């Protein structure tokens, strides 16, 4: 049983496998798993692949919300009319996520559960206020994504529990849907900083609603309601963005690493916010 690989074809079969092999490692696309195996971060043991479970591969319009199965690949999201229509900011993030091969194999559920501060889908899911559906063989619960992710590689996932899907409220009325990341290269790079913004502007240019999130500037994606509230009720201007940038420096917590210094990350995070002035007429 040590090196066994299980490929259930339904959630019912999955629960049976988990019952008999509770310590098995569960994975979907396996893109992060392969890296960790090669680096010796995890050891080879019994594994459960979710790739054959069609229940995890659905995208459904549910009225005021959209459901995305955890096993939906990034490429399938890019091809989805439902996602393109309702969540262009998620599309923009996935367009620059990894290589075509990674987008074909990797799943949105895997990107969430990996819980990397640099995960490209996470900043959009934070501003979209995504809810995660978590299942065991006999229970079901929902958690907001910002409560699910606790730190790098750390989540609220319990033993015997899997992420089955993401439920996203439709983002009505926003006229700026912006995602941008800075890395040493383009699509294949791990983000030095990523930034996501949803803005609703009146005809006069007054900010009626604002949601901002940053990746790679702390142990988790950071969304700051304090920064958002500085802009709401004011015209989108260089002056207001400057004030908001000062608040950004107080709330983000970047580190020095091989890719960039903490100082550089702070400067980039503020500059990405400032660049919103270029998109106010989107």
Assign 185 a pLDDT band (cuts: 50, 70, 90). low
Inter-residue long-range contacts of 230-238, CB under 8 Å, 24+ positions, other chains counted = 231/207, 232/207, 232/208, 233/206, 233/207, 234/206, 234/207, 235/204, 235/205, 235/206, 235/207, 236/199, 236/201, 236/205, 236/206, 236/207, 236/276, 236/277, 236/280, 237/277, 238/274, 238/277
Higher pLDDT, 190 or 117: 117
pLDDT at 272: 97
pLDDT at 1: 52
Q: Mean pLDDT over residues 211-219, rounded?
A: 97
Q: For residue 112, report the phi and psi dihedrals to the nearest 5 degrees.
A: -75, -50
Q: Mean pLDDT over residues 33-60, rounded?
A: 85
Residue 281 has pLDDT above 60, yes or no: no
Residue 134 has pLDDT above 90, yes or no: yes
Percentage of the chain surpassing pLDDT 90?
80
């Amino acid at each position: 049983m040590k090196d066994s690989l299980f490929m259930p074809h339904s959630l019912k079969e999955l629960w049976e496998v988990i019952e008999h092999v509770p310590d098995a490692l569960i994975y979907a696309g396996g893109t992060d798993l392969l890296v960790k195996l090669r680096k010796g971060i995890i050891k080879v043991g019994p594994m459960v692949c979710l790739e054959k479970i069609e229940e995890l591969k659905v995208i459904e319009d549910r009225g005021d919300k959209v459901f995305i199965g955890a096993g939906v690949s990034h490429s399938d999201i890019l091809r989805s009319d439902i996602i393109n229509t309702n969540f262009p900011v998620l599309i923009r993030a996935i367009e620059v996520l990894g290589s075509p091969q990674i987008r074909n194999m990797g799943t949105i559920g895997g990107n969430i559960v990996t819980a990397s501060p640099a995960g490209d889908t996470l900043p959009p899911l934070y501003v979209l206020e995504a809810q995660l559906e978590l299942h065991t063989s006999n229970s079901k619960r929902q958690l907001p994504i910002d409560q699910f992710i606790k730190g790098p590689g750390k989540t609220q996932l319990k033993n015997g529990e899997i992420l089955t899907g993401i439920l996203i409220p439709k983002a009505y009325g926003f006229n700026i849907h912006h995602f941008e990341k800075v890395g040493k290269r383009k699509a294949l790079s791990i983000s030095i900083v990523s930034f996501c913004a949803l803005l609703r502007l009146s005809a006069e240019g007054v900010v009626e609603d604002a949601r901002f999130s940053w990746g790679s500037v702390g142990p988790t994606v950071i969304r700051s309601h304090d920064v958002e509230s500085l802009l709401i009720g004011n015209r989108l201007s260089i002056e207001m963005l400057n004030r908001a940038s000062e608040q950004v420096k107080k709330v983000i917590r970047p580190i020095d690493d091989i890719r960039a210094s903490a100082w550089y990350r702070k400067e980039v995070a503020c500059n990405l916010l400032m660049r919103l002035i270029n998109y106010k007429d989107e």
